[in-house]
């Protein structure tokens, strides 16, 4: 039977490593090394991002695992080329992927990781749609043999909606064939998970936009979805509720990591923060935006395909001003793989990433200093709308990829404004970015603040084809 408990009320137990927290850190005592069995190696973890997202969202989660002693070379993340689900799972749609394609991509990555590491099993951790692929793989793709533990953060296991007759061909319909099949009871107890894999779900108590009883986020405000905040839970899994988290935070936040770590090891994490590296080595790919065949002028659907020929410059900048501190510290024109690195950064140093590519705005991306190395620092070239490019002034984008902005809960501001454009001030949190238009003026610092994290950049002229992005890390 499932168990539902607050994160802080969880009982400590011995996890699959069979080690206490001290043993995880130190191994067997040296004086008893000849008598104690060797510690089991950490199994590989494969992270699976959500709908429309990228592997880059797992950067801070990976840093937390590394800080607690999980080897970096045992951490992997898929980057689905077309991460958006189809409107109808059975109907081909340009630039989108089916549930079967998603599962096949994950299966191939698991097999690659197992071969590369020599491991017989992996741990799968997914957010949102990523959990659909995990469940599908374990149920239909042979994952019962290869997956020891499955962790789903915010996965809409019983649908984003469960309205009979409404878009039932969609992967997120709770009454449609995809989820109905995955949720079919496995036994007399009504379990919805497949063994011997061990399962954990993490959900919010009320603040997940895709586990909401009201249809506002599916274009049907005021109408019931027949889904509740408990929709991500699964019978037969261990189900954890963490108060106040938004949809993405159920996978990418510190509290979600703590739940994952306890589930895998049976112990609480030993450290509260992320261990800093003096010279983080960064790598990633430059991607763009696909053209929408139904509205080519919009050109805005997401993909994770490389953007060959894109040019990148990196500048060290003042953390409080975004002002460049000299010549570029790294330059590259990317090839067919889209890879822009490697680049060795300095601990505590803020950087500006400038992406130039035909058909795109010159994108000035400012980020907080990097705490540790990562191969998932993916950068996306952005486009300006036609009206934005014609209007004198600047366009400033403030984005939080690993969570949403919630003015009721968070302390935030953009260029001194406490109200962010496009971010609801009431109801369930559901906006991860804000887009602010600034009047024409001399170049100056523009600053975004969120719960103590500050990112500073510069205003660049939109009429000259430039766009400023301030990206939060946490």
CATH number of the structural domain spanning residue 444? 2.60.40.2190
Q: Round to whole Å and give the CA distance between 328 and 313.
A: 6
Q: Are residues 204 and 343 in the same domain?
A: no
What order of strands is seen across the sheet that includes strand 147-153? Answer: 3-6, 238-242, 198-204, 147-153, 122-127, 45-48, 75-77
Give the DSSP H or E segment for 44.
none
- pLDDT over 70 at 35, yes or no: no
**Does pLDDT of 296 surpass 70?**
no
**Measured distance CA(3)–CA(240) in Å, rounded:** 8
Q: Per the domain annotation, does 273 fall within a domain?
A: no
Residue 10, pLDDT above cutoff 70 = no
CATH number of the domain at 214, please: 3.40.50.1820
Asked if 226 and 122 sit in the same domain, the reply is yes
Tens digit of pLDDT for each residue in 225-254?
Answer: 999 999 999 999 999 999 999 999 999 999
Residues 108 and 14 in one domain: yes
Closest Cα partner for 454 from 472, 466, 439? 472
Q: Does an H or E element contain 111, and which? A: helix 99-117
Domain total for the chain? 2
Q: Which two tokens stand for residue 234?
A: 């699964």
pLDDT beyond 50 at 56: yes
Provide the whole-model pTM: 0.91
User: Is it the case that residue 26 has pLDDT exceeding 50?
Assistant: no
Residues 352 and 234 in one domain: no
pLDDT at 40: 74
Domain assignment of residue 205, yes or no? yes
Domain that holds residue 173: 3-265
Any domain includes 270: no
- For tokens 């609480």, the residue is 268
The band of 422, judged by pLDDT with boundaries at 50, 70 and 90, is very high
364 & 254 share domain? no
Higher-pLDDT residue of 19 and 287 is 287
Q: Is 385 in the same domain as 418? A: yes
Helix (H) or strand (E) holding 86: none
Could you tell me if 425 and 450 lie in one domain?
yes
Q: Are residues 443 and 386 in the same domain?
A: yes
Joined tokens for residue 210: 């895709």
In this structure, is residue 271 part of a structural domain?
Answer: no
* pLDDT confidence of residue 272: 86
Length reported for the chain: 474
pLDDT of residue 41: 82
Same domain flag for 261 and 295: no
Q: pLDDT-based confidence at 36, cuts 50/70/90? A: low
């Amino acid at each position: 039977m499932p168990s539902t408990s607050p994160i802080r009320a969880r009982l400590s137990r011995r996890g699959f490593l069979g080690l206490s927290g001290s043993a995880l850190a130190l191994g067997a005592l040296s004086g008893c090394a000849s008598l104690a069995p060797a510690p089991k190696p950490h199994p590989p973890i494969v992270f699976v991002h959500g709908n429309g997202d990228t592997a880059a969202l797992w950067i801070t989660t990976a840093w937390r695992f590394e800080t607690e002693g999980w080897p970096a070379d045992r951490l992997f993340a898929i980057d689905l080329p077309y991460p958006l689900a189809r409107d109808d799972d059975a109907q081909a749609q340009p630039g989108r992927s089916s549930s079967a394609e998603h599962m096949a991509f994950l299966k191939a990555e698991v097999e690659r990781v197992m071969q590369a590491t020599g491991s017989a099993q992996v741990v799968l951790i997914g957010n949102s749609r990523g959990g659909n692929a995990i469940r599908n793989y374990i149920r239909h793709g042979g994952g019962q043999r290869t997956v020891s533990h499955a962790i789903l953060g915010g996965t809409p296991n019983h649908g984003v909606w469960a309205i009979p007759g409404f878009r039932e061909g969609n992967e997120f319909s709770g009454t449609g064939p995809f989820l109905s099949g995955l949720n079919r009871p496995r036994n007399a107890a009504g379990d919805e998970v497949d063994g011997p894999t061990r399962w954990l779900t993490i959900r919010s108590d009320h603040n997940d936009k895709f586990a909401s009883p009201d249809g506002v986020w599916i274009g049907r405000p005021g109408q019931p979805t027949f889904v509740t905040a408990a929709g991500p839970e699964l019978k037969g899994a261990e189900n954890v509720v963490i108060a106040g988290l938004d949809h993405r935070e159920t996978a990418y936040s510190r509290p979600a990591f703590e739940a994952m770590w306890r589930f895998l090891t049976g112990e609480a994490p030993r450290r509260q923060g992320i261990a800093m590296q003096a010279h983080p080595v960064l790598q990633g790919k430059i991607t763009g935006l696909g053209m929408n065949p139904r509205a080519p002028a919009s050109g805005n659907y997401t993909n994770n395909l490389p953007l060959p020929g894109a040019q990148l410059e990196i500048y060290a900048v003042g953390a409080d001003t975004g002002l460049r501190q000299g010549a570029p510290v790294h330059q590259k024109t990317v090839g067919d793989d889209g890879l822009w690195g490697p680049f060795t950064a300095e601990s505590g140093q803020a950087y500006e990433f400038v992406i130039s590519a035909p058909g795109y705005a010159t994108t000035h991306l400012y980020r907080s200093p990097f705490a540790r190395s990562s191969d998932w620092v993916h950068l996306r070239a952005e486009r300006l709308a036609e009206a934005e490019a014609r209007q004198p002034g600047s366009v400033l984008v403030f984005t939080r990829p690993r969570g949403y902005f919630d003015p009721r809960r968070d302390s935030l501001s953009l260029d001194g404004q406490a109200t962010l454009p496009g971010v609801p001030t009431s109801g369930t949190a559901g906006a991860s970015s804000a887009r602010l238009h600034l009047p024409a003026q001399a170049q100056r610092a523009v600053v975004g603040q969120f719960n103590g994290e500050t990112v500073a950049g510069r205003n660049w002229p939109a009429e000259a084809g430039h766009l400023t992005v301030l990206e939060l890390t946490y």
